[in-house]
């Protein structure tokens, strides 16, 4: 049985958190105990417990059970910049084994862990490694969130090429229509359906950011992610 899924995006700001929450709710509706994880986050704020990230807090709140924040988000940084730069400014080195340990903790508590990446597929996390290395270390199938906007075809196809070259399975993808002004949206989604070697799990309509995160995603088909 798959123990989780890695949610990647064609870029930053493409709706990975909302889609991750949608996946969590859909898996819960299928009878699974689910936790969420955002291994690395920049753009954090200071709380009584230390630095926290809003996306990670949403994933923590969406879980089937209460889990410690430090397992949901092992690495939190204040500057809203690329994670390796934020880590350097904090004098910290992001270590993949620490992320693996947090993932194992969450896996022991739940049937399924939804892991949200940061930025795009190859965003650096330290001097040598990228988010691809994190996904490889966890050994999870990938769900790709594609922002339907100008340039999405190239971004999606290049990202899928990298995922497959890394040897990880692409379990499915989500079309997220984040730009209401984008022309030929239906045609772009159709083009990707013909070209991407995985099922379309959801075609997400545009929803204003002012709505609460739990209201920003529709129904996601998780059947292709489940065993048997």
Domain ranges of the chain: 4-221
Q: Which residue has the higher pLDDT, 228 or 49?
A: 49
Q: Model's pTM, two decimal places? A: 0.94
Residues involved in catalysis: 38
Q: What is the mean pLDDT of the chain?
A: 93
Contacts of residue 224, Cβ cutoff 8 Å, sequence gap at least 6: 171, 172, 198, 199, 201
Is it the case that residue 228 has pLDDT exceeding 90? no
Q: Write down the pLDDT at residue 1.
A: 44
Q: What is the largest CA-CA distance in the chain?
A: 49
Q: Count CB atoms within 10 A of the CB of residue 181.
A: 8
Query: Average pLDDT of 63-68?
Result: 97
Running DSSP on this structure, what letter comes out for residue 179?
-
Percent of the chain, pLDDT > 70? 94
Q: What percent of the chain stands above pLDDT 90?
A: 89
pLDDT at residue 76, as a whole number = 97
Number of residues assigned to the chain: 228
Q: Where are the beta strands (DSSP E) in the chain?
A: 4-9, 34-37, 40-41, 45-47, 50-52, 75-76, 112-116, 142-147, 170-176, 200-204
Say if residue 207's pLDDT is above 80: no
Secondary structure class of 218 (helix, strand, coil): coil
Q: CB atoms < 10 A from the CB of 212, how many?
A: 8
Residue 148 confidence (pLDDT): 96
What does CATH list as the number for 4-221?
Answer: 3.40.50.300
Lowest model confidence (mean pLDDT) among 95-99, 121-125, 216-220: 216-220
User: Is a pLDDT exceeding 70 seen at residue 221?
Assistant: yes
pLDDT tier, 3 (very low <50, low <70, confident <90, very high otherwise)? confident
Q: Would you give the DSSP letter of residue 124?
A: B
pLDDT at 123: 96
Structure-token pair, residue 3? 């123990």
Distance CA 155, CA 2 (A): 27
CA angle 108, 110, 115 (to 5 degrees): 95
Question: Is-contact 50 34, C-beta < 8 A?
Answer: no
Q: Work out the average pLDDT over 89-94.
A: 95
Report the DSSP beta bridge partners of residue 123: none
Confidence of residue 212 (pLDDT cuts 50, 70, 90): low
Least confident residue range of 1-10, 21-30, 104-113, 149-158: 1-10
């Amino acid at each position: 049985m798959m123990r989780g899924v890695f949610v990647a995006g064609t870029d930053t700001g493409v709706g990975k958190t909302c889609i991750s929450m949608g996946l969590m709710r859909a898996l819960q509706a299928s009878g699974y105990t689910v936790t969420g994880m955002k291994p690395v986050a920049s753009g954090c704020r200071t709380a009584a417990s230390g630095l926290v990230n809003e996306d990670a807090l949403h994933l923590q709140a969406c879980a089937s059970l209460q889990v410690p924040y430090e397992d949901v988000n092992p690495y939190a940084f204040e500057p809203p910049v690329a994670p390796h730069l934020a880590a350097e400014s904090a004098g910290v080195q992001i270590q993949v084994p620490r992320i693996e340990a947090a993932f194992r903790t969450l896996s022991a508590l739940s049937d399924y862990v939804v892991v949200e990446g940061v930025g795009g597929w190859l965003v650096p996390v330290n001097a040598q490694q990228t988010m691809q290395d994190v996904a490889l270390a966890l050994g999870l199938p990938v769900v790709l969130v594609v922002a339907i906007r100008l340039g999405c075809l190239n971004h999606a196809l290049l990202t899928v090429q990298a995922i497959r070259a890394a040897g990880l399975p692409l379990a499915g993808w989500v079309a997220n229509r984040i730009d209401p002004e984008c022309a030929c949206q239906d045609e772009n989604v159709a083009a990707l359906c013909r070209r991407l070697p995985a099922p379309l799990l959801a075609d997400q309509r545009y929803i204003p950011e002012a709505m609460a995160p739990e209201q920003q995603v529709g129904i996601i088909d998780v059947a292709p992610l489940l065993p048997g």
